[in-house]
Amino acid sequence: AQKITQTQPGMFVQEKEAVTLDCTYDTSDPSYGLFWYKQPSSGEMIFLIYQGSYDQQNATEGRYSLNFQKARKSANLVISASQLGDSAMYFCAMREGPSTDKLIFGTGTRLQVFP
Amino acid sequence: DSGVTQTPKHLITATGQRVTLRCSPRSGDLSVYWYQQSLDQGLQFLIQYYNGEERAKGNILERFSAQQFPDLHSELNLSSLELGDSALYFCASSPGRGNTEAFFGQGTRLTVV
């Protein structure tokens, strides 16, 4: 069965520093997609970045990049130049196969950015 | 703004009651998904509709049901509510199969008292 693991319940980073949030996944499906979402204290889920299993290059969106290591089944989120507004919960998710597109979520990592 | 609209934002109701949560997907999106986020269970997939038809079912209780209408908006019906149903309910939408994006609404926070 597909599974997403986020082993860091909480992370601290100083403003303007880079931080890596870990995510490993398990699937036997050769076609899958990996997503990262941010959930601030207000509760909404904000889509950050997507990586497809066949994508040759790591995805990047502004200050967010996804360090995709297929052989290790990891999809870590890297946030560069952290800002105070980056303080939030971050969820890694995997799309199950091409037929349903439902997302399976990890348990999340709470990131706190301090001045 | 994700473009996915959920109403209401907050709902407080008593045990045993029935409520309906509403979701309007982003323009052009055919798939609608419902998720439940609770403290003890995390984010759980409930059900997916694609262009009016049920596509996938997850951990959805028999007391819960959903549908997607011809205009593609969706409703999640929760009945015989229990205290444990208190959670944040999200709707998400995406274009269709093999999605590279899925956008969430702001959620409906349900409190059962």
Using one digit for the tens of pLDDT, what is the confidence trace for A17-72?
999 999 999 998 888 899 999 999 999 999 999 999 999 999 999 999 999 999 99
- Position A100 scores a pLDDT of 67
Share of chain A above pLDDT 90, in %: 83
- Position B41 scores a pLDDT of 81
> Which residues of B fall within a CB distance of 8 Å from A45?
90, 92, 104, 107
Q: Do A47 and B107 touch (CB under 8 A)?
A: no
3-state secondary structure chain B: CCCCEEECCEEEECCCCCEEEEEECCCCCCEEEEEEEECCCEEEEEEEEECCEEEEECCCCCCEEEEECCCCCEEEEECCCCHHHCEEEEEEEECCCCCCCCEECCCEEEEEC
Mean pLDDT of the region A3-17: 96
Residue that wins the pLDDT comparison between A31 and A6: A6
Q: Do A47 and B102 touch (CB under 8 A)?
A: yes
Per-residue confidence band for A109, with pLDDT thresholds at 50, 70 and 90: very high
- Position A102 scores a pLDDT of 84
- Position A97 scores a pLDDT of 66
Residues 6 or more apart whose Cβ sits within 8 Å of residue A39 = A45, A46, A88, A89, A90, A91, A108
Residue A98 pLDDT > 80, yes or no? no
> Which residues of A fall within a CB distance of 8 Å from B30?
none
Which residues of chain B carry a pLDDT beneath 70? 98
> Which residues of B fall within a CB distance of 8 Å from A44?
2, 104-107
- Position B40 scores a pLDDT of 81
Residue A12 pLDDT > 80, yes or no? yes
Q: Do A101 and B106 touch (CB under 8 A)?
A: no
